């Protein structure tokens, strides 16, 4: 039984790591990957381990939460690392140890395994985690899509028709030198509606295409992807049109609860644009209430933005300034001063319940 081992922080897991894993998989019967906790990247260990499991389902992943902090080639550090690895393996026999680092020598000897160095000079894949962390956008060709997508903060703007979602999403993308996702549902409706209506079956076609386009844009994004609505909005439209939503849309609307990192609700305090494809200002109010009610039912935290475009941009930027990917949005302390945030409120999913700057909130729901 040939059993390989490789280990590291994989912060992030890049093409060099993939080369290491794929080389091992071609040479051994079973591969074990030990992944360490680290603070050099904000991505949690579970997520980094999930990348490996998604890309290589046959690999056995060991999450090393309590790994030693030391890194170097002193006798003390080597002994500490060796003892930890042997303890974590719990008697599991390793025949080949794979790495691209100096420690391949002493770890393989401690394991009684063959020392397999792979691209130690970084010739085949000229990249390292440090360089990627400095500029993941410029080096995204070295990251698998599943990895790069988790480095992008996805920001979704919601609200009734004519609440400024499109303008805000486009403007935020311009200000942050990234891309934005237009509302596919509006495009679909304009192409397929009959007497301003589409069928329940047609609603089922919108969310999958929206997600597909959004996934493609995610890989072109730099730090942020700003999205004009999501499947939850389509779900609310379907219920408003037909009193129900189909199974595909219902499922994708539920998945959308975790698909985005930040939700913003655009307020109805701006002038209503009474175009032919809209149903009037009174309908805007009703639809806004339906969206707030749906978010409340889902217990999704969101930030309300209002005022002029520049005031809304300022409010969103203040949240982005404090936000960290994979953090609890309720930890954000948003400035409520009149000069920075005209009337910005952080909702916890209960209509009109604002989070105060001292952190008091009735919401216990936290998102990844």
Beginning with the edge strand found earlier in the chain, give each strand of the sheet holding 3-8 in spatial order.
Answer: 60-64, 30-36, 3-8, 96-99, 114-117
Q: Which CATH architecture has domain 3-135?
A: 3-Layer(aba) Sandwich (3.40)
Pick the more confident residue, 202 or 337.
Answer: 202
**What is the band of 339 on the pLDDT scale with cuts at 50, 70, 90?**
very low
Report domain 152-355's class: alpha beta
- Is the model's pLDDT at 273 over the cut of 90? no
Q: How do residues 45-83 score in pLDDT, each as one tens digit?
A: 999 999 999 999 999 999 999 999 877 889 999 999 999
State the average pLDDT over residues 21-32.
98
Tokens of 347: 């909702």
- C-alpha span between 311 and 331 (Å, rounded): 22
DSSP state of 153: E
| 129, two tokens | 């985690």
3-135 and 152-355: same fold? Answer: yes
pTM over 0.75: yes
Spatial separation of the C-alpha atoms in residues 59 and 323, rounded to whole Å: 33
- pLDDT, the chain, mean: 89
| The pLDDT of residue 15 is above 60 | yes
Query: Do the beta carbons of residue 71 and residue 77 sit within 8 Å?
Result: yes
User: Which region among 49-63, 185-199, 307-321 has the lowest average model confidence (pLDDT)?
Assistant: 185-199
Q: Per-domain residue ranges for the chain?
A: 3-135, 152-355
Determine the pLDDT at residue 336: 37
């Amino acid at each position: 039984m040939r059993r390989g081992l490789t280990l590291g922080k994989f912060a992030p897991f890049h093409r060099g790591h993939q080369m290491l894993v794929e080389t091992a998989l071609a040479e051994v019967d079973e591969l074990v990957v030990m992944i360490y906790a680290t603070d050099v990247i904000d991505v949690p260990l579970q997520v980094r381990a999930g990348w490996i499991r998604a890309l290589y389902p046959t690999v056995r992943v060991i999450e090393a939460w309590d790994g030693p902090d030391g890194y170097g080639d002193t006798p003390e550090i080597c002994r500490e690392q060796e003892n930890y690895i042997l303890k974590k393996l719990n008697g599991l026999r390793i025949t080949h140890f794979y790495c691209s680092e100096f420690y391949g020598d002493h770890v393989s000897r401690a394991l009684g395994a063959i020392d397999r160095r792979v691209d130690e000079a970084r010739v085949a894949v000229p990249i390292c985690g440090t360089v990627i962390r400095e500029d993941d956008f410029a080096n995204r060709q070295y990251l698998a899509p599943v990895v790069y997508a988790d480095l992008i903060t996805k920001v979704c703007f919601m609200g009734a028709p004519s609440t400024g979602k499109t303008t805000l999403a486009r403007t935020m993308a311009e200000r942050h030198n990234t891309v934005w996702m237009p509302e596919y549902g509006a495009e679909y409706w304009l192409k397929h509606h009959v007497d301003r209506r589409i069928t329940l079956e047609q609603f089922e076609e919108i969310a999958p295409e929206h997600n597909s386009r959004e996934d493609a844009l995610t890989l072109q994004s730099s730090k942020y992807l700003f999205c004009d609505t999501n499947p939850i909005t389509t779900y609310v439209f379907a219920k408003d049109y037909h009193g129900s939503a189909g199974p595909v849309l219902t499922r994708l609307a539920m998945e959308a609860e975790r698909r985005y990192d930040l939700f913003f609700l655009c307020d109805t305090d701006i002038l209503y644009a009474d175009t032919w494809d809209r149903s009037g200002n009174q309908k805007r109010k009703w639809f806004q209430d339906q969206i707030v009610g749906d978010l409340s039912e889902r217990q999704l935290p969101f930030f309300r933005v209002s005022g002029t475009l520049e005031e809304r941009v300022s409010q969103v930027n203040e949240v982005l300034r404090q936000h960290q990917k994979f953090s609890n949005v309720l930890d954000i302390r948003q400035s409520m001063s009149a000069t920075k945030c005209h009337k910005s409120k952080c909702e916890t999913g209960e209509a009109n319940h604002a989070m105060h700057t001292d952190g008091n909130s009735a919401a216990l729901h936290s998102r990844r």
